[in-house]
Amino acid sequence: PLKRLALGAALTPLAALIARRALAAPLLAANSPEAKAVRYTEDATSAKDSKGNTCASCALYQGANGSAQGPCQLFSGKDVKAAGWCSSWAAQM
């Protein structure tokens, strides 16, 4: 039990750091090559193929419910806009 406690104590600051990093992730630039490759836009309404879908309703979006922006599994270390969209949009299960 003591070992487990020590491990838990060691992991807690790391988890906090990771959480802080996720919150502080820079926004994906819509004009960057990786964004352009999937036709990412910060405004889903401007994409005629979005069919009303947005990053907020995408299976790859990892932002909290109601968040304005959050991480996307496609773009490691970058946030995308909840109101955005790209051609890799996937329905949530």
Q: Could you list the residues that contact ligand SF4 (CB under 6 A)?
A: 40, 55, 58, 60-61, 72, 74, 80, 84-86, 88-89
Cα separation, 80 vs 2, in Å, equals 41
Query: Given the complex with ligand SF4, which of 25 and 74 has the nearer CB atom?
Result: 74
Query: Given the complex with ligand SF4, which of 67 and 88 has the nearer CB atom?
Result: 88
| Shortest separation between residue 46's beta carbon and ligand SF4, angstroms | 13
Residue 17, CA distances (Å) to 11, 29, 72 in order: 10, 24, 19
Cα separation, 32 vs 36, in Å, equals 6
Query: Given the complex with ligand SF4, which of 16 and 74 has the nearer CB atom?
Result: 74
Tokens of 53: 């879908």
